[in-house]
Amino acid sequence: MPREFARADRVADAIQRYLANMIQQEIRDPRVGMVNINSVTISRDMAYAKVYITVVGGDEQEGRTSAEVLNKASGFLRTLLAKELDMRTVPKLNFNYDHTSVRGQELSSLIDRAVAADKAKSADEDE
């Protein structure tokens, strides 16, 4: 019977939990807003981790700025992770802005407008 979760998935979940707390408590840079960590993916050899973030209430430019700041602080965050995780080596962190939530909201509003226009058109035809 195969394992339910791979080790990389468990490590990614742990990194996501710890990073969420560390960014909130340890990063004091005003350019980093309210960062939400959407997901973490780890390479098969567990040497690299891609961290996908969004900024709550921020636009795309603010999200990209926060990702740049976090990439510069990735060594510091990696050191803090090494103290928390029981691993021989901690993956190198690479922060990326995740625009899927913004794109999802745009698509949702387009769908809502199309449905409203269709309802208005069918109401005009019924009269």
| 51 in any annotated domain | yes
Classify 55 as helix, strand or coil.
strand
Q: Model confidence at 22, in pLDDT bands (50, 70, 90)?
A: very high
Q: What percentage of the chain reaches a pLDDT higher than 90?
A: 48
What average pLDDT does the chain have? 88
| 32 in any annotated domain | yes
| 21 in any annotated domain | yes
At 115, the amino acid letter reads: V
Q: Whole-structure pTM over 0.85, yes or no?
A: no
**Per-residue pLDDT averaged across 18-29, rounded?**
91
| 75 in any annotated domain | yes
Sign of the torsion angle spanned by Cα atoms 115, 118, 122, 123: positive
Q: Specify the DSSP element, H or E, that contains 93.
A: strand 92-97
Is 2's pLDDT higher than 70? Answer: no
| 19 in any annotated domain | yes
| 1 in any annotated domain | no
Residue 4's pLDDT is 63
Residue range of the domain that includes 38:
7-99
Cβ atoms 22, 77 nearer than 8 A = yes
Measure the N-to-C terminal CA separation of the chain; round to a whole number of Å: 63
Question: Lowest mean pLDDT: which of 2-11, 69-78, 111-120?
Answer: 2-11
Residue 8's pLDDT is 86
| 108 in any annotated domain | no
Is 57's pLDDT higher than 90? Answer: no
What pairs with residue 51 in β-bridges?
A: 40, 95
Q: How many domains does the chain have?
A: 1
* 70: CATH: 3.30.300.20
| 54 in any annotated domain | yes
Q: Model confidence at 75, in pLDDT bands (50, 70, 90)?
A: very high
